[in-house]
Amino acid sequence: MIDYPQDQMSDSNTAIQGNFICPQTRQTLREATDGELAALRKIPTHTALEAAWISTDSSVAYPIKNGIPLLIPSAAIAIPKFPSSTP
């Protein structure tokens, strides 16, 4: 396996952002924020999640393992919707 510097990997993620689409909804995927990753890691089966791509409507996330996005429906992580606390 080739080890790329972390800053170089981040630059390539930014360059390809918008080129991935959700295989289920056909929505554009974006890189998960640190806050979103923290929330996803609270799901018991995803505590070791290193990164993820999230659909535009934030309904599903796809994990990234060893720098490779797993863009297959069976790898999708459903993101629960919580009711808004504002009326």
The mean pLDDT of the chain is: 80
Distance CA 80, CA 23 (A): 19
Q: Is position 65 within any domain?
A: yes
Distance CA 43, CA 13 (A): 24
Tokens in use for 76? 């999708």
Q: Is residue 75 very low, low, confident or very high in pLDDT (cuts 50, 70, 90)?
A: very high
| Amino acid at the residue 62 | Y
Q: Is position 40 within any domain?
A: yes
Tokens in use for 31? 């890189």
Q: Is position 39 within any domain?
A: yes
Q: How many residues does the chain have?
A: 87
Q: Count up the domains in the chain and report the number.
A: 1
Q: What is the pLDDT of residue 51?
A: 95
**pLDDT exceeds cutoff 60 at 5:** no
Note the pTM of the prediction, 2 decimals. 0.73
Tokens in use for 83? 């009711």
pLDDT tens figures, 37-62: 999 999 899 999 999 999 999 999 99
Q: Is 61 helix (H, G, I), strand (E, B) or coil?
A: strand
Range of the domain at 27: 21-78
Q: What is the pLDDT of residue 25?
A: 87
Nearest-5° Cα angle at 44, 35 to 82: 55
Q: Is position 32 within any domain?
A: yes
Q: What is the pLDDT of residue 80?
A: 78
**pLDDT exceeds cutoff 90 at 86:** no
